[in-house]
Amino acid sequence: MKRILLLVVALALVASACSGGSVVATVNGIEIQSGDVEALIAGDLATVPQDLFAQLIYTLIVHEVVSKAAEDEFGITIDQAQLDEQIDALTAQIELSGGTLEEAAAQQGLSLDAVPLIIQEDLTEQAIGDVLAASEPDPSEDEVLAAYNSALQSLTEVCASHILVATEEEAQGALDRIAAGEAFEAVATELSTDTVSAEAGGDLGCASASTYVPEFAIASIEAELGVPTAPVQSQFGYHVILVRERTETALEEVRADIVASLREGSRNTLLSDWMLVVIGGADVTVEEEYGTWELEPFPTVVPPAQ
């Protein structure tokens, strides 16, 4: 529900509920009037920026196209009971923080009357996404494994030390001294340009591998425990890394979360692609004084030049 009031470009308003005024756009033969746009706005209409007005025109275009396509293709409509349930939940959530629904809407520049219509659009898109995703197969094992490997840095904790120097030659020299019997800690204290960790013999403590820059993170995951790595270059210089301990979260511990994330990603992609096709295929005209309808790189209403 938190996203609802942030969806300035995904509002909903029944286009037939016209408030009069001049025609700002026509969508598949349906006129959108200036009063329809103004009904979405809280505060002084004279101070509304042109780009916001253009965004709201786009909002009405999208609603007209998506709501009709949702009903025609999938039989999706949102009833009053669904709206009431979501409005009650949103109102309760906002009141917990000491605010009101009207105040929350006004912070987005929106009228209170727009809120149930915003929710209608959000629920419509959720329902479309659910239908589109229902026929999709579960993620394959290869997809799950690839996602796990991509997330491995955040799923791995390393207890590491390092020596940071400016050049590869200096890093190799540090390695040579350690190989000859000097303690890693002593060499780090003497040579490392990371003065904070140098005071602790190069010790960085224990942290998620994702805490570090990518080159360091990858090396810390791949390093043999207790054995200093070959020089590793990053934006900071050259590191010699010593990983003392490493704890990885096993795939089976996070499989359910990964599968859920992949399903959600697939669902979002299907919904986005469907909306682009439906919106891009609509017959849309925007009156010149209010902006222009453009499809590339994505559908939008561009405000008129000032």
Q: What SS3 state is found at 302?
A: strand
Residue 17 pLDDT exceeds 60: no
Phi-psi region for residue 74, left (φ > 0), alpha (ψ -120 to 50) or beta?
Answer: alpha
CATH classification of the domain holding 32: 1.10.4030
What local confidence, expressed as pLDDT, does residue 10 receive? 38
CATH classification of the domain holding 220: 3.10.50.40
**Range of the structural domain that residue 218 is part of:** 156-248
Amino acid found at 236: F
Same domain (yes/no): 275, 191:
no
Residue 143 domain-assigned (yes or no): no
Same domain (yes/no): 223, 276:
no
What local confidence, expressed as pLDDT, does residue 186 receive? 97
What local confidence, expressed as pLDDT, does residue 150 receive? 93
Residue 148 domain-assigned (yes or no): no
Residue 114 domain-assigned (yes or no): yes
Overall domain count for the chain: 2
Same domain (yes/no): 243, 296:
no
Residue 14 pLDDT exceeds 70: no
Residue 96 domain-assigned (yes or no): yes
Same domain (yes/no): 172, 278:
no
What local confidence, expressed as pLDDT, does residue 306 receive? 67
Query: Cα(25)–Cα(61) distance, rounded to whole angstroms?
Result: 8
Same domain (yes/no): 104, 41:
yes
Same domain (yes/no): 134, 267:
yes
**% of the chain at pLDDT higher than 90:** 81
Same domain (yes/no): 22, 132:
yes
The pTM of this model reads: 0.74
Residue 229 pLDDT exceeds 90: yes
What local confidence, expressed as pLDDT, does residue 1 receive? 37
What DSSP string runs through 186-240? HHHHHH-S-HHHHTTTTEEEEEEGGGS-HHHHHHHHHSPTTSPPSPEEETTEEEE
Same domain (yes/no): 67, 111:
yes
- The average pLDDT across 246-269 equals 96
- The average pLDDT across 160-173 equals 98
Burial category of 54 from C-beta neighbours within 10 Å (exposed 0-12, middle 13-18, buried 19 and up)? buried
From 118, 96, 122, select the one nearest 108 (Cα to Cα). 118
Same domain (yes/no): 62, 119:
yes
Per residue in 74-114, pLDDT (tens digit) is 999 999 999 999 999 999 999 999 999 999 998 888 888 78
From 108, 110, 101, 95, select the one nearest 41 (Cα to Cα). 110
For residues 215 and 232, is the Cβ–Cβ distance under 8 A?
A: yes
What local confidence, expressed as pLDDT, does residue 250 receive? 95
Residue 210 domain-assigned (yes or no): yes
